[in-house]
Amino acid sequence: MSLRELIHSDIKKTGPTTTLVETAQMMRRYKIGSVFVEDGGQYIGIVTESDLVRKGLTKEVSPETPTRSVMHVPLLDIDVEKTPIEANHLMHLNGIRHLAVSESGKIIGMISVRDLVRYFSNDKKSPLHAMTDIVKPLTVLVRRDIQTIDSFATAQEAARKMDEKKIGSLMIVDEKRYVGIITETDLVRKVIGYGLSASKIPVGVIMNTPVLDIDLSRTIQEANEIMATKGVRHLAVTERGEIIGILSIRDLIGMISIRDLPRFFSNQK
């Protein structure tokens, strides 16, 4: 199967002089995590939630700062005739969640990590389904080093910690209890999108609560279904009712890539 059946041809785009606030508002309006940057009829880069958080909120740049100051260049693309597993490897190896898709050198659409995980979840021959033979497969994926931040900490402090740890979420604690979760999406849509001061607003005000969770004994497919249904990229993982780690959609594509790399490289010879 090629990527042609999975791509989004309705590309959301902005200009290099569009402000960060306007870009964040676009992401909130369309419920997307990236926007292509177009100039002179050509796509010159991409702005993602991670870019806005790590290059914007960490420094608390002006809401009127132009998009070109935080966009990622060059725009990484993959040919439409490539396979989902090849797109997955490219995302994993480059640490990204969105890819431009091209045909004959021209950008015709984009694909996200959500699209790939959804496809692998439905494909009975995918590496994702191969993991169902593992007892408690979530144990392979869960990250037990839970990164936390106090509910009274600021959005800017949260952004800086996410940047430092290279992660997309933090568990919120209050009196040593997990009371919520804050993600890059929250910072973009609820802080930048409203032009709020990241150095003043506490994360307890914008966190998601209660925390969505899944028991360690459940399957990868069930985890993916919850993420897709709820529109989230992170789940708390519980054991005997206690939160013991975090699972992210990036962990899923990472494991798929690692399991398939030997076959992938063999096919490239």
Q: Is there a domain that residue 133 lies in?
A: no
Same-domain check for residues 9 and 111: yes
Domain of residue 158, residue span: 138-253
Evaluate if residue 22 carries a pLDDT over 80. yes
Average pLDDT (1-6) is 88
pLDDT band of residue 269 (cuts 50, 70, 90) is very low
- Kindly tell me if the per-residue pLDDT of 75 is higher than 50: yes
Tokens of 8: 């989004």
Q: Is residue 147 part of a domain?
A: yes
Which of 122, 146, 181 delimits the end of a domain?
122
Q: Is the pLDDT of residue 88 over 60?
A: yes
In a shared domain, residues 99 and 150: no
Domain count, the chain: 2
Strand order in the sheet with 34-39: 13-14, 34-39, 42-48
Q: Identify the band that residue 209 occupies on the pLDDT scale cut at 50, 70 and 90.
A: very high
Q: Tens of pLDDT along 130-165?
A: 666 554 678 878 899 999 999 999 999 999 999 999
Phi/psi of residue 19, each to 5°? -75, 160
Angle at Cα 267 formed by Cα 262 and Cα 269, nearest 5°? 105
Strand order in the sheet with 234-239: 213-215, 234-239, 242-248
Q: What is the CATH number of the domain that holds 151?
A: 3.10.580.10
Q: Are residues 25 and 94 in the same domain?
A: yes
Query: How confident is the model over 176-199, as pLDDT tens digits?
Result: 899 999 999 999 999 999 999 999
